[in-house]
């Protein structure tokens, strides 16, 4: 018999159906709640207990530290797959056949150029503009160059053109934003290279000299992008879904996702981690003092890169990245004093009752910042790299929402303001 829960409001009992997911997780279906209770709604600030959708893309068990894309464990994908293969898996639901993969990567290669007018936009930003703001604006601006993409009733093939364009152009845009911020000429895509190699060349290369991709760096980048590719209904993904649910263009939904990712409580944490380590270093390196600051409830400071809304045991991505960061630093022979501070923070907090009792462990951003720094990315580009990795996940989640013809996202509220009162003209109001 199908499971139900009974909700008792005053003397009335209402049966609510239970939805069971493929991993046996359960949700109480409250879609008929208001109608059957005469107006009761639920209250859950921050959506800590609210499932906004069913989804067949990513499974995550925060207690057990499990993360799977379309059923495949993140550990296997990070070890054996490539970013574009994972992107295909997320967006189309299955790992590609050889032919499908050749077609997919071939189409992406064909669309790596961006319109020259986009470069002119970039030329006019003030020097210190944050790259996340520019990226969000540039992605939204792409819609202007592809007006057909605004039509909600486009066929599957036309929608796919937008998907390919987004995947193809994001590395070019990210590199160009960086180059313009440095006053350097932009590097055009080299379609003879793989996705990651091409990105590294556009980002670190110069038109005046040959750029040789370091395979150690390319491998680490593949891993980082795969680990960031999706994370079910997080803040930016929910934003993409909610903006998309109004039938705004996909470019606009992705642009909104980038804006949501920007904040230090979300993707911006990887930048904040390095800034925090630098602050500790310039303060004399006394990391214990900063741990105490993080524990002090009167002090707003938090240890950046620690804690997670859903992982309350360990972040499986952090485990993989920690190993990758050790490998990269060893192979590149990098000795960074910030790393010593990071390792000391990790060592002490893993034993400190404040962090242990609240299940606050280093998260993916703690280690990713360290690798990005070792590779040579400037700190303010870290969150942009997160966006590059998260793009396929956002697209997959948007596509699922659109295919299922989900209604517009529109939460309710419990109003706590003034009840009705009478308007008084300004001459009659208190001085
Ligand atoms: C990720 C984060 C937003 C999760 O927030 P959340 O699930 O809403 O958890 P809360 O903010 O309710 O925190 C729970 C408790 O742990 C404490 N806490 C959470 N993260 C902390 C941190 N990084 N440093 C110090 N204390 C922290 C809170 O003060 C709170 O303590 P209390 O129970 O005594 O009031 C939060 O842990 C955080 O701000 N981390 C730092 C930023 C970061 O690394 N973000 C990237 C996430 S991938």
If you ran DSSP here, which 8-state letter would residue 209 be given?
B
Pair (209, 308) in one structural domain: yes
How far is residue 375 from each of residues 29, 281, 334, measured CA to CA in Å? 47, 20, 10
d(CA 58, CA 233): 9
User: Are the C-beta atoms of 382 and 372 separated by less than 8 Å?
Assistant: yes
User: Are the C-beta atoms of 240 and 338 separated by less than 8 Å?
Assistant: no
> Is 219 part of any domain?
yes
R_g of the chain computed on alpha carbons: 24
* Residue 52 CA, ligand 1 centroid: distance in Å: 22
Pair (55, 120) in one structural domain: no
Best residue for ligand 1 mutational test, from 265, 307, 364 (most atoms within 8 Å of Cβ): 307
> Is 262 part of any domain?
yes
pLDDT tens readout for residues 289-321 = 999 999 999 999 999 999 988 888 788 998 898
Q: Does 20 or 343 have the greater pLDDT score?
A: 20
The CB of 321 under 6 Å from ligand 1? The reply is: no
Give the CATH number of the domain where residue 289 resides.
Answer: 1.10.580.10
The CB of 306 under 6 Å from ligand 1? The reply is: yes
Q: 15, 40, 66: which is the final residue of a domain?
A: 66
Q: What pLDDT sits at residue 389? A: 98
pLDDT tens readout for residues 1-43 = 789 999 999 999 999 999 999 999 999 999 999 999 999 999 9
> Is 418 part of any domain?
no
Pair (37, 86) in one structural domain: no
Pair (62, 138) in one structural domain: no
Other Cβ atoms less than 10 A from the Cβ of 32: the count is 12
The CB of 309 under 6 Å from ligand 1? The reply is: yes
pLDDT tens readout for residues 187-243 = 999 999 999 999 999 999 999 999 999 999 999 999 999 999 999 999 999 999 999
Q: What pLDDT sits at residue 49? A: 95
Q: What pLDDT sits at residue 68? A: 98
Is 228 a known active-site residue?
no
The CB of 197 under 6 Å from ligand 1? The reply is: no
Three-state secondary-structure class, residue 45? helix
Pair (138, 270) in one structural domain: yes
The CB of 307 under 6 Å from ligand 1? The reply is: yes
d(CA 50, CA 55): 14
> Is 304 part of any domain?
yes
User: Are the C-beta atoms of 37 and 9 separated by less than 8 Å?
Assistant: yes
d(CA 130, CA 181): 9
Residue among 104, 103, 86 nearest 95 (CA): 86
User: Which ligand 1 atom is nearest residue 366's CA?
Assistant: 44
Find the mean pLDDT for residues 80-100. Answer: 98
> Is 427 part of any domain?
no
Owning domain of residue 157: 79-405
Q: What pLDDT sits at residue 364? A: 87
> Is 431 part of any domain?
no
d(CA 86, CA 104): 12
Proportion of the chain in helix, strand, coil states, percent, rounded to 5: 55, 5, 40
* Residue 355 CA, ligand 1 centroid: distance in Å: 10
Nearest CA to ligand 1 atom 26: 302
Pair (137, 19) in one structural domain: no
Pair (336, 271) in one structural domain: yes
**pTM recorded for the entire structure:** 0.91
Find the mean pLDDT for residues 42-61. Answer: 96
d(CA 20, CA 16): 13
Q: What pLDDT sits at residue 8? A: 95
> Is 71 part of any domain?
no
How far is residue 83 from each of residues 35, 136, 257, 316, 321, measured CA to CA in Å? 45, 22, 20, 18, 15
* Residue 391 CA, ligand 1 centroid: distance in Å: 25
Query: What sign has the CA pseudo-torsion 60, 94, 384, 163?
Result: negative
Phi, psi values for residue 69, rounded to 5°: -100, 120
Pair (172, 203) in one structural domain: yes
Find the mean pLDDT for residues 131-146. Answer: 96
Q: What pLDDT sits at residue 335? A: 80
User: Are the C-beta atoms of 210 and 325 separated by less than 8 Å?
Assistant: no
User: Are the C-beta atoms of 315 and 65 separated by less than 8 Å?
Assistant: yes
Beta bridge partners of 68: 59, 73
Q: What angle do CA 228, 326, 203 make, to 5 degrees?
A: 55
Nearest CA to ligand 1 atom 39: 265
Nearest CA to ligand 1 atom 30: 358
Find the mean pLDDT for residues 391-397. Answer: 98
d(CA 178, CA 9): 57
pLDDT, averaged across the chain: 94
Is the predicted pLDDT of residue 152 greater than 90, yes or no? no
Q: What pLDDT sits at residue 167? A: 98
Phi, psi values for residue 68, rounded to 5°: -135, 140
Query: What sign has the CA pseudo-torsion 301, 224, 397, 242?
Result: positive
Find the mean pLDDT for residues 61-65. Answer: 90
> Is 177 part of any domain?
yes
Pair (123, 52) in one structural domain: no
Q: What pLDDT sits at residue 409? A: 97
Pair (56, 91) in one structural domain: no
The CB of 139 under 6 Å from ligand 1? The reply is: no
Among 176-185, 267-276, 418-427, whose mean pLDDT is lowest? Answer: 267-276
For the chain, what is the domain count?
2
CA 124 to chain centre: 27
Pair (258, 361) in one structural domain: yes
Could you give the count of Cα atoms lying within 13 Å of 10 in the half-sphere of its Cβ? 4
Is 161 a known active-site residue?
no
User: Which ligand 1 atom is nearest residue 46's CA?
Assistant: 8
Residue among 329, 351, 270, 278 nearest 304 (CA): 270
- Any idea how long the chain is? 431
User: Are the C-beta atoms of 406 and 53 separated by less than 8 Å?
Assistant: yes
Q: What pLDDT sits at residue 370? A: 85
Pair (50, 84) in one structural domain: no
The CB of 265 under 6 Å from ligand 1? The reply is: yes
Q: Does 237 or 362 have the greater pLDDT score?
A: 237
Q: 66, 97, 114: which is the final residue of a domain?
A: 66
* Residue 309 CA, ligand 1 centroid: distance in Å: 8
């Amino acid at each position: 018999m199908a499971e139900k829960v009974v909700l008792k409001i005053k003397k009335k009992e209402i049966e609510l159906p239970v939805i069971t997911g493929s991993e046996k997780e359960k949700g109480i279906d409250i879609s008929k709640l208001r109608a059957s209770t005469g107006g009761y709604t639920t209250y859950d600030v921050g959506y800590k207990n609210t499932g906004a959708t069913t989804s067949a893309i990513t499974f995550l068990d925060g207690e057990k530290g499990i993360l799977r894309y379309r059923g495949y464990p993140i550990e296997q994908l990070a070890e054996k797959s490539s970013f574009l293969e994972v992107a295909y898996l997320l967006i189309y639901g299955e790992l590609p056949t050889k032919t499908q993969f050749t077609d997919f990567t071939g189409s992406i290669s064909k669309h790596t150029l961006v319109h020259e007018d986009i470069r002119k936009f970039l030329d006019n930003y003030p020097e210190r503009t944050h790259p996340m703001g520019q990226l969000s604006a540039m992605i939204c601006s792409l819609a202007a160059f592809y007006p057909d993409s605004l039509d909600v009733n486009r066929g599957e093939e036309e929608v796919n053109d937008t998907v390919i364009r987004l995947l193809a152009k994001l590395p070019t845009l990210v590199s160009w934003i960086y180059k313009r911020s440095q006053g350097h000429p932009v590097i055009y895509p080299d379609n003879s290279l793989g996705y990651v190699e091409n990105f590294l060349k556009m980002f670190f290369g110069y038109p005046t000299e040959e750029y040789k991709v370091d395979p150690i760096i390319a491998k680490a980048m593949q891993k980082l992008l795969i680990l960031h590719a999706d994370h079910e209904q997080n803040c930016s993904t929910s934003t993409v879904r909610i903006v998309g649910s109004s039938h705004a263009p996909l470019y606009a939904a992705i642009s909104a996702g980038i804006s949501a990712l920007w904040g230090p409580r979300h993707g911006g944490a990887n930048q904040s981690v390095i800034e925090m380590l630098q602050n500790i270093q310039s303060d004399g390196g006394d990391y214990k003092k900063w741990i105490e600051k993080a524990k002090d409830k009167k002090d707003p400071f938090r240890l950046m890169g620690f804690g997670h809304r859903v992982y309350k045991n360990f972040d499986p991505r952090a485990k993989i990245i920690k190993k990758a960061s050790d490998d990269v630093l060893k192979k590149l022979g990098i000795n960074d004093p910030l790393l010593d501070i990071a390792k000391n923070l990790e060592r002490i907090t893993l034993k400190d009752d404040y962090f242990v009792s609240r299940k606050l462990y280093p998260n993916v951003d703690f280690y990713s910042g360290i690798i990005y720094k070792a590779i040579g990315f400037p700190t303010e580009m870290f969150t942009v790299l997160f966006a590059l990795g998260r793009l396929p996940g956002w697209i997959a989640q948007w596509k699922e929402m659109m295919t299922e013809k989900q209604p517009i996202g529109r939460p309710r509220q419990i109003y706590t303001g003034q009840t009705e009162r009478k308007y008084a003209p300004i001459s009659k109001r208190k001085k």
